[in-house]
């Protein structure tokens, strides 16, 4: 009889302990809703940095973000250095976009209208041996390419074509990994939309960052029609102070760890600002920042 009672007591204690654990699990907030980052999971990304004086372009591997630190930045080196050069050691100047294709291990990039090789498509596995191809203009607009990104749900590559007059300001779809054609989506963006970063969320939805002063607005863009849709003010500053009316930055969305946007600033006169966050309406407001963690950034690439 005593042995039976002891068995019942132990069983009740076990059930109570299980209930306590289940209750604790239910009250643990998801990472995207909390103010404390999961330090066991740090978002990885590739980073394209440009020296504002020389225009020399460099690639880095970044791990971590302001809300999921510590942040580590290391040169991405295959043979010699992390500087982008052609196979003859001639530097690639003023690169404007970087994307990575994990199915082939190939990086793709762009240049814009600045520098000696305007509107080029870049292809490489080694930063010291970049193939440079003229972009083939398939839609007759004035080209100024930047912020190339691979849609991880379809494998297609998109970029921003900057323009101050219609119809040049728009999202374009690139022909890579086939011919380096630039194909216009059916509709342009408003001329007043200063798109300075392009990324895809985990579901393949396309977003750009409209920048103005120290502020940014996340803008949804339909990747089939090119039309801009809902916009969401970013919950914190994207630059420490105003240096130009429309600051440059790289934009990334992390799907593996924190589920937030990540920005990296391009500031030629002071330390760049790195942030991660979510606007209200997209799961936020959440915002973290770190000054001086990155090199002057023009784009990110999803690994």
**Ramachandran sector of residue 61 (left: φ over 0; alpha: ψ -120 to 50; beta: rest):** beta
Supply φ then ψ for residue 285, to 5 degrees.
Answer: -85, 135
- Integer Cα distance of 301 and 292 in angstroms: 20
Q: What is the pLDDT along the chain (303 residues), one digit of tens a residue?
A: 443 343 333 343 333 333 333 222 222 223 233 334 444 699 999 999 999 999 999 999 999 999 999 999 999 999 999 999 999 999 999 999 999 999 999 999 999 999 999 999 999 999 999 999 999 999 999 999 999 999 999 999 999 999 999 899 999 999 999 999 999 999 999 999 999 999 999 999 999 999 999 999 999 999 999 999 999 999 999 998 887 888 899 999 999 999 999 999 998 788 999 999 999 999 999 999 999 999 999 999 999
User: For residues 49 and 297, is the Cβ–Cβ distance under 8 A?
Assistant: yes
Supply the pLDDT for residue 280: 98
Question: What is the pTM (predicted TM-score) of this model?
Answer: 0.86
Q: Go through the domains of the chain in sequence order and give each one's CATH number.
A: 37-301 (2.120.10.100)
Nearby residues of 254 by Cβ (< 8 Å), 6 or more positions away: 43, 45, 65, 260, 262, 276
- Integer Cα distance of 163 and 250 in angstroms: 18
Supply the pLDDT for residue 61: 98
Supply the pLDDT for residue 128: 98
Supply the pLDDT for residue 88: 97
Supply the pLDDT for residue 241: 84
Query: Largest Cα–Cα distance in the chain?
Result: 92
The string of DSSP letters for 84-130 reads -BBTTSPBPBSEEEEEEETTTTEEEEEE-SSSSS-SEEEEESSTTSB
User: For residues 61 and 43, is the Cβ–Cβ distance under 8 A?
Assistant: no
**Residue at token pair 């970063």:** 197
Burial class of residue 231 (count of CB atoms within 10 Å of its CB; 0-12, 13-18, 19+): middle
- Integer Cα distance of 264 and 298 in angstroms: 7
Supply the pLDDT for residue 40: 67
């Amino acid at each position: 009889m005593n042995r039976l009672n002891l068995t019942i007591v132990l069983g009740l204690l076990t059930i109570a302990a299980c209930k306590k654990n289940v209750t604790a699990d239910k009250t643990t907030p998801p990472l995207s809703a909390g103010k404390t980052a999961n330090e066991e999971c740090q978002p990885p990304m590739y980073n394209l940095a440009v020296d504002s004086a020389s225009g020399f372009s460099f690639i880095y591997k970044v791990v971590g973000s302001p809300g999921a630190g510590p942040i580590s930045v290391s040169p991405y080196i295959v043979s010699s250095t992390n500087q982008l050069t052609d196979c003859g050691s001639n530097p690639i100047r003023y690169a404007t976009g970087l994307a990575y294709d994990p199915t082939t291990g190939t990086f793709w990039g762009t240049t814009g209208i600045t520098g000696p090789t305007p509107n080029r498509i870049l292809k490489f596995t080694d930063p010291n041996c970049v193939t440079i191809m003229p972009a083939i203009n398939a839609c007759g607009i004035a080209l100024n390419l930047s912020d190339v990104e691979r849609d991880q749900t379809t494998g297609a590559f998109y970029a921003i074509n900057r323009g101050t007059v219609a119809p040049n300001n728009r999202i374009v779809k690139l022909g890579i990994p086939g011919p380096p054609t630039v194909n216009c989506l059916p509709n342009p963006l408003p001329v007043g939309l200063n798109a300075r970063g392009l990324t895809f969320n985990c579901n393949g939805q396309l977003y750009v960052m409209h920048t103005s002063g120290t502020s940014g607005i996340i803008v949804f863009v339909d990747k089939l029609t090119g039309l801009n849709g809902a916009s969401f003010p970013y919950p914190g500053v994207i630059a420490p102070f105003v240096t130009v009316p429309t600051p440059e930055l790289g934009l990334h969305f992390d799907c593996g760890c924190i589920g937030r946007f990540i920005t990296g600033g391009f500031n030629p006169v002071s330390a760049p600002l790195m942030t991660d966050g979510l606007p209200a309406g997209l799961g936020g407001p959440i915002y973290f920042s770190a000054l001086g963690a990155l090199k002057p950034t023009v784009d990110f690439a999803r690994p």
